[in-house]
Chain A
Amino acid sequence: MEILKLLRANIKHKKGAFKSVIALMAIIVLSFTGTVSNNDNIDRTIDEAYKWSDSPDMTIFMDEKYADDKTLEAIKNNPDVIDLTTVKSALCDDIYINNQSVERGLMLLPDSHKLYRVFNEKETGYIKNPEPLKEGEIYITYSMKRLYDIEAGSEIIIDIPKDKTPDSERVKFQMKVKGFIADPKFGSAFMAPGRFFISDADIEKMRTYSKIVELDIHLRNGADYIKVKKSLDNSCGLLENAMSIFTKEECISYTTIYSDVGSRIVLAFVILLLVITMITIFHSISSSVDMEYVNLGVLKSQGFTTGKIRLVYILQYIIAEIIGAAIGLLLSVPLLMILGTLFQSITGLLTIQRVSFIKCGLLSIGIIAVSAVFILLSTRKISKISPVRAISGGKSEVYFDSRLNVPIRKKALSFFMGLRQFTSRLKSYAGILFISVLLVYFMMTIIMLSDRLSGENIIPDFKSNVDIFFTEEFQLNDIDEIEKTVNEVDKDAEILFSSGSYVIVDDVELFCEAESSCDKMYQPLDGRLPLYDNEISITEIVSDMLDKEIGDTITVGTGKNKRDYIVSGYHQSVSELGRTILVTVEGYYKQTGTVPYICSVKLSDVNLIDKLCDTIKQKHSKIIMDTEIVSKSDGSDDSLYILVDAICIVLEIIVFAISIAFSAVVISMVCSKTFVKERTDIGVLKSLGFTAKSLRVQFAFRFMIIALIGSVLGGIASYFLAPPLLEALLKIVGLTRIEAKITPAIFFIPSIAISASFFLFSYIAARKIKKVEVRELVSE
């Protein structure tokens, strides 16, 4: 009973601290509930979608000429294959949506192949029995709708060359968007290729010019994808002949790539916020015990045991945490609606919006339990309070702890007074300093991460202006001639010949990229990029998978061909989530007998684009199939880049907003305690002629000084600690080595944000200086 009375009195008396803990806990629970539930929702959504679409375990896109009876028979006869469906489709490499070229391979499939569901008009559910498509109608994926801002009824131009001859006439099909579909396997914004669905009649028309088949393979439960691929490669040269092969796992990885990275980041952030909350609670309890020394001594003299008093403290904070957790859980409902809409644009699937109450509730209980132990430890000093000492005058008045006396100067008096407040009580500000370091460190890390994850960095791109496609007549010795012609048009142009396919190395399937100048696409992490045809560069992920290092020999297999390469260096690539190897086009030619199929040209002057296209076609008509203008500007204007950048910005905003909200609560809490401690000094200074405004500025200055010091330390921490954190977070996308680049923007944006918020919130918290009369301050 007496504990309840004390508890009620304590909560009433320390409303500020009580409310602050509620706010901190609400932010933490909201952050992790939003993240965990959103991840669960995406998993549920994908799981459900794979069930209703009966999605195959392996999807292979192949030129129809390779999908002969022998190949199909070999697939069917594989012991791990339980079902094979062949879908006749068409490939279109040129699609124009809203006059904008779509930079990704798109497969056109007949709508009778029901691997999709159609979104209703409000995009809140799927239509139960959609009408079959009529001629001229097309279903496009929901993620494309968002990427290209398409509405139902919009027109889409599909541009297909009549044949694979140079200067082939092109056939244009004008299609009307009937609706938007959820395609579990290829509907994600990050999946290339994408699939569009058209009527059976239209498919037939398009197949006159482009014949592709989609092979949908269902495997027996527990089948090893790698082994199946290897065995199919041996039996029918699958890896060499297929345009692309996607397993269910790979598709899910690409669909969830950003939610996975995002959730790792937010969860790391939540851990940091928890540390900050614990420091704040420790500071609050410590100050409270100091200030309540006499009262606590009186309570002890009246028979209250140390245990009972500590229990009151624990209950007080736990109650606040429980309320905060409940608020956080409730607020996660609207947050998940926002996240659901955002991630619906990425997954292209109707996202389930459900709060994982049980999981997050249990996590909250875990956090509260940990914090209870922490609070128990923080209240240890209550046991040292002596009733006699407390009653006979309380604790020593000397509360400054440092001899680091920065001189007080007449000029910038407020600043120096603030600095003195900080330097003379360093210990009591250590917690705040640590908090500012953590916040700045994480904010800087998040900008670095955002920079690494930006569209241009995550999607490897030569940033070409013109892509040149070759006919089968093209030979390796034509490379020099093409280069000569390009340099005649623009002597400073950069040229890159590329090729590639899936290969098998030590039973592991990897994508082998072949480039004429590897250094134009990648930077070596260690060693150097391949220069000679017997050299290979691998990613660190591949290095771990194969247990190979620089100088080791790797045997690459394509079909029945096998060739040895020496590892010359490491590079990193997000392509295939880092499961790639890199060779020269000469090496690749010796391995597969295949020459580059594309030449990318980056011009020093974009005005030369048309001249280059004309000259190339004119001079090399036999070997040039087509030229394509990729970009008429220096930067990339790919919609996917814009989406990736938008996600990064959202992530930055979330982290910044939470950091500032957190600093607001923490600063308000610390300031009110500091204010109570220093109110006499403040009153005295006011009585000496300091205005309320100058005292508030003085009060706030020290917190800004702390934030500035925290910024420098946070910058140093970011330099050393951001790379390992980012590497841990981004390994799943293939980035294993992050260089700590602290640019002025990376340093100043978080530093200014935290310093300004520390100053602002402490200035606001010190408003009592203005409201209270001098006498009240002095004698209170």
Chain B
Amino acid sequence: MKKIILSAKGLCKSFAHNGVQNHILSNLDIEVYKGDFTVIMGASGSGKSTLLYALSGMDRATGGSVTYNGEDIVKLSEKRLAQLRHTDFGFIFQQMHLVSNLTLFENIVVPGYLNKSVSAGEISRYAEELLEKMGILGIKTHLPSQCSGGEQQRCAIARALINRPKLLFADEPTGALNRKNTTEVLNLLTDINNNGQSILMVTHDSRAAIRATRIIYIADGAVVGSIDLPRYTPETEKTRETQINSWLSSMEW
């Protein structure tokens, strides 16, 4: 029996533009399980990124609830949300969004420093470990502008992991990368998921989706279907791809 790590009920998100309300998410229910590599897919404009932001507390939902660890994060104070972001959640952006005037190493340790229970030395050691794991230890003193997109994204993953999050959110992490870098990043994510890290990722790339243990498909701001998959291994890649493509076709992808 899988344990729910995050769930949303009746989730709504709308934006007002020139007095007109645009409903992006309407009455959406979703459950994310601990240890899963959950992927949210959907067509452009389906609301998948909006959902990810609402679930991670980056953006406030306009209705419904998002329950994490018994707390409704929609109702949390700004301070508590901030705390949640550096203690329980990690976030990877499509555009990496590394702080431009910090080195790769500093980009990783700065969110770690927010964690009062861990010493600076311990954070540095773990940051070095992550850098090594991501294969970018040699360029740790480089500024983001001196690195390739893949290197930046690997740094962003390390940054998201520095506080050992319970749940890692990723918004199209390979969207801005070339084929080689995409594979490297996906391998890293798969690897950390295999080590027990829960991941919730948004993508519209089926090559990324094959790494999932569960895929949720949304359309017009609502969940229209989901599929559970066994853990990814390189050997099963072809079979999974066929299975997922067939399922996506049934979702009118």
Residues of A within 8 A of B (CB): 397-400, 405, 408-411, 413, 417, 420-421, 424-425, 680-681, 683-693, 770, 773-776, 778
Contact = CB atoms under 8 A, between A and B. Distances in A.
Given A688-B114, A690-B114, A425 B59 contact: no
A515 B223 CA distance: 101
Interface in B111-130: 111, 113-114, 119-120, 123
Nearest to A402: B101
A420 B59 CA distance: 28
Given A405-B103, A778-B93, A410 B159 contact: no
Given A690-B82, A778-B93, A778-B97, 6 more contacts: A398-B145, A405-B103, A681-B99, A688-B111, A689-B84, A689-B87
Interface string B43-77: 00000000001000011100000000000000000
A672 B249 CA distance: 48
A567 to B, nearest CB: 63
Contacts of A680: 97
A326 to B, nearest CB: 35
Contact of B59 (A411, A421, A692, A774): A774
Contacts of A685: 99, 110
Contacts of A413: 110, 113-114
Contacts of B60: 773
Nearest to B78: A692
B180 interface: no
Nearest to B146: A398
Interface in B184-236: none
A408 B78 contact: no
B240 interface: no
B200 to A, nearest CB: 15
Contact of A398 (B86, B97, B100, B119): B100
Interface residues of B, number: 34
A629 B114 CA distance: 70
B96 to A, nearest CB: 9
B131 interface: no
B251 interface: no
A685 to B, nearest CB: 7
B102 interface: yes
B100 A397 contact: yes
Contacts of B93: 684, 687, 778
Contacts of B159: 688
A691 B53 contact: no
Given A689-B82, A689-B85, A681 B114 contact: no
Given A689-B83, A773-B60, A778-B97, A410 B53 contact: no
B79 interface: yes
Nearest to A693: B79
A408 B102 contact: yes
Contacts of B109: 408
Contacts of A398: 100, 143, 145
Nearest to B77: A691
B59 A775 contact: yes
B91 interface: yes
B195 to A, nearest CB: 22
B151 to A, nearest CB: 15
A683 B59 CA distance: 11
B153 to A, nearest CB: 14
A143 B59 CA distance: 67
A432 B98 CA distance: 26
A399 B101 CA distance: 9
A687 B100 contact: no
A408 B113 contact: yes
B172 interface: no
A421 B101 contact: yes
Contacts of A770: 78
B58 A424 contact: no
B106 interface: yes
Contacts of B110: 408, 413, 417, 685, 688
A771 to B, nearest CB: 11
Please list the 5 inter-chain residue pairs (A to B) with the smallest Cβ-Cβ separation, ordered nearest first. Answer: A689-B86, A424-B101, A410-B120, A689-B85, A688-B111
A689 B78 contact: no
Given A398-B145, A689-B87, A775-B58, A684 B82 contact: no
Contacts of B82: 686, 689-692
B101 A425 contact: yes
Given A408-B110, A408-B113, A774 B101 contact: no
A776 B83 CA distance: 19
Nearest to A682: B99
A226 B66 CA distance: 94
17 contacts: A408-B109, A413-B114, A420-B102, A421-B101, A424-B101, A681-B99, A684-B97, A685-B99, A686-B85, A688-B91, A689-B86, A689-B87, A690-B86, A691-B78, A692-B78, A693-B79, A774-B53
Contacts of A425: 101
Contact of B111 (A689, A691, A773): A689
B50 to A, nearest CB: 8
A410 B99 contact: no
Contacts of A774: 53, 58-59
A507 B82 CA distance: 83
B101 A400 contact: yes
A421 B106 CA distance: 13
A397 B145 contact: yes
Best-buried of B87, B143, B159 by chain A (most CB within 10 Å): B143
Nearest to B118: A410
A420 B143 CA distance: 13
Residue from B79, B86, B100, B111 with most neighbouring chain A CB atoms (10 Å): B100
A689 B114 contact: yes
A406 B1 CA distance: 51
A397 B147 CA distance: 13
Contacts of B98: 684
Contacts of B143: 398, 400
Contacts of B111: 688-689
A688 B86 contact: yes
B87 A420 contact: no
Contacts of B114: 413, 688-690
Contacts of B145: 397-398
A566 B114 CA distance: 76
Nearest to B60: A773
A399 B78 contact: no
A400 B100 contact: yes
Nearest to A409: B120
Contacts of A424: 101
A692 to B, nearest CB: 6
A480 to B, nearest CB: 78
Most buried by A among B53, B99, B101: B101
B97 to A, nearest CB: 4
Nearest to A681: B99
A687 B91 CA distance: 7
Nearest to B121: A410
Nearest to A777: B58
Nearest to B57: A774
Contacts of A405: 103
A409 B123 CA distance: 11
Contacts of A683: 97
A687 B58 contact: yes
Which has the most chain B C-beta neighbours within 10 Å: A420, A425, A690, A778? A778
